[in-house]
Amino acid sequence: MSARTADVVVIGGGIVGAACAEAFSAEGSSVELIEERGIGGGASGAGMGHVTVMDDSEAQFALTRLSVALWEELAASLPAEVEYSRCGALWVAADDEEMAEVARKQRFYLSRGVRAEALDARQVAEAEPNLRPGLAGGLLVPGDRVLYAPCAAAWLVNRAMGRGARVHLGVRATANDAGVVTLSDGGRIEARHVVDATGAASGGLVRPRKGYLAITDRYPGFVRHQLIELGYSKSAHGHDDESVAFNVQPRVTGQVLIGSSRQYGVDDSLVGAHLLSRMLRRARLYMPRIATLHVLRAWTGFRAATPDGLPLIGPSPRNAQVLLATGHEGLGITASLGTARLLADWVAGRTPPIPMEPYLPNRFPAEVPS
């Protein structure tokens, strides 16, 4: 079969691949998107859907702030099923030590123009009456948002299709030789650029990091903000084989999403009773009354983790024709739009809105996916 040609082939129809397809189609490029399972069916569908500015490093802050701004630009056009909600995030401090972290975090955000309010014990109790009494306080980041990622990804893909992008569902890319991508259905596409947005399946330095989530029936008002314990960062960036952290999120449906857990070295998607109960116990520790809420479903997914906690965005050191857009760990929903913008700028030869160097795959000379 003779190969078709496209400017860009995007492999992976999660939110990152969807955002890349959307961004390249907006450039006027011809785009073909390849997704084996379903749009938003991998980590995008398994995750919580944070759209959040994070402060773990300057590079992470820059990418997430850019991305949140890009989401805000789209906000008015997002359809209702994307459930884009400006619920804000409340970082919960259990003790004085964590209150010191509240002060540090607040300084970080304020000095960079991000609103953040320190709350004392009484204010936290007023903001979230179902939190346990006796917490030290917290940090409210009113600008944080959540969305429903499978519908957001589908919306981005539909936008790209409206500009002529083609979508191949239910097929895999089996090979990529000298710019010709072979599909499992026998199709071949000759591409100028191939975007690898396969998340935890990227391989190389990207390791799958399993996470659990549970969702409850509808209890409107039970939780008002996205709630995260300040110990979350320890869980997210520690390298323990297994960790849990309190993180619950109100959905616009009134349902409560309960997380979170992180687990290395596990590749089956089994919902293990042990880790699930450990994660739910953590939630009860912070919100005792959550014990009466009914869990409808628990599931697992795989984050794409990198050694330094930053994504891989840019040409692969092994094959410059392949552009990596992977390794977003728990921030893929947020960072999808920023990632797509950086890649589109790079291909167009434009100066990106933020420096791209911290995310370039060549910071790891060997072993990155190609």
Partner 1 sequence: MKDSLACEIVVVGAGPAGLAAACTAAGRTRSVAIVDGNTAPGGQIWRGEVRMPGIDRARISQVRLLSDTLVVDCPGDHSLLAVQGDRAVEIRYEKLILATGARERFLPFPGWTLPTVVGTGGLQAIVKGGMRIAGKRVVIAGSGPLLLAVAAYLCRQGARIAMIAEQAPRSAVFRFARTVARSPRKLLQSISLMQSLTGTPYRTGCWPIEAVEGAVTLSRGGKTWSEPCDYLACGFGLVPNTELAALLGCVLQDGFVAVDTCQQTTQPGVFCAGEPTGIGGVEPAIVEGRIAGYCATGRMDEAARLFPERDRGNRFRRALEEAFRLRPELAGLTGPDTIVCRCEDVTFARIAKHGNWRAIKLQTRCGMGPCQGRVCGPAVEFLLGIPPDSVRPPIFPVPVGLLSEDL
Partner 2 sequence: MIEILVNGKPVRVAFGTTVAAAILMAGEVVFRRSVRGEARGPLCGIGICFECCVTIDGLPNQRSCQVPCRDGAEVVTAC
264 binds partner 2 per the rule CB under 8 A: no
CA distance 350 to 319: 21
Return the range that interacts with partner 1 (CB under 8 A); candidates 16-24, 179-187, 294-302, 342-350. Answer: 294-302
40 binds partner 1 per the rule CB under 8 A: yes
298 binds partner 1 per the rule CB under 8 A: yes
Nearest distance, CB of residue 280 and partner 2, angstroms:
18
Phi, psi for 251 (deg, rounded to 5): -90, 155
The interaxial angle of helices 58-74 and 332-348, nearest 10 deg, is: 90
Q: Which residues neighbour 120 within 8 Å (Cβ) at sequence distance 6 or greater?
A: 137
Q: What does 219 interact with, of partner 2, partner 1, none (CB < 5 to 8 A by kind)?
A: partner 2
**Subset of 309-328 contacting partner 1 (CB under 8 A):** none
| Closest CB to partner 1 among residues 1, 273 | 273
Q: What does 121 interact with, of partner 2, partner 1, none (CB < 5 to 8 A by kind)?
A: none
Q: Which residues neighbour 208 within 8 Å (Cβ) at sequence distance 6 or greater?
A: 200, 201, 267, 302, 303, 304, 305
Residue of 292, 297, 351, 365 that binds partner 2 (CB under 8 A): 292
Residue of 18, 87, 257, 283 that binds partner 1 (CB under 8 A): 283
In the three-class reduction of DSSP (H, G, I as helix; E, B as strand; rest coil), residue 347 is classed as helix
- Token pair of 298 as six digits: 């628990």
Work out whether the CA dihedral 67, 68, 72, 75 comes out positive or negative: positive
108 binds partner 2 per the rule CB under 8 A: no
Total residues interacting with partner 1, rule: CB under 8 A: 35
Residue of 296, 307, 320, 357 that binds partner 1 (CB under 8 A): 296
Alpha carbon 136 to its chain centroid, in Å, reads: 29
Long-range contacts of 157-161 (CB under 8 A, 24+ apart): 157/13, 157/18, 157/21, 157/22, 157/33, 157/39, 159/22, 159/25, 160/18, 160/21, 160/22, 160/24, 160/25, 160/31, 160/33
| Closest CB to partner 2 among residues 77, 292 | 292
- Token pair of 32 as six digits: 């073909």
Total residues interacting with partner 2, rule: CB under 8 A: 6
81 binds partner 2 per the rule CB under 8 A: no
DSSP track, 171-183:
--EEEEETTEEEE
Residue of 74, 299, 308, 353 that binds partner 1 (CB under 8 A): 299
39 binds partner 1 per the rule CB under 8 A: yes
**Subset of 132-171 contacting partner 1 (CB under 8 A):** 150-151, 154, 169
Q: What does 77 interact with, of partner 1, partner 2, none (CB < 5 to 8 A by kind)?
A: none
Per the CB < 8 A criterion, the answer to whether 123 and 137 are in contact is: yes
CB atoms within 10 A of CB 59: 18
Q: Which residues pair with 92 in a beta bridge?
A: 138, 229
350 binds partner 2 per the rule CB under 8 A: no
253 binds partner 2 per the rule CB under 8 A: yes
**Subset of 212-231 contacting partner 2 (CB under 8 A):** 217-219
What is the binding site for partner 1 (CB under 8 A)? 37-41, 45, 81, 150-151, 154, 169, 214, 216-217, 258, 271-274, 276-277, 280-281, 283-284, 290-299
What is the binding site for partner 2 (CB under 8 A)? 217-219, 253, 292, 294
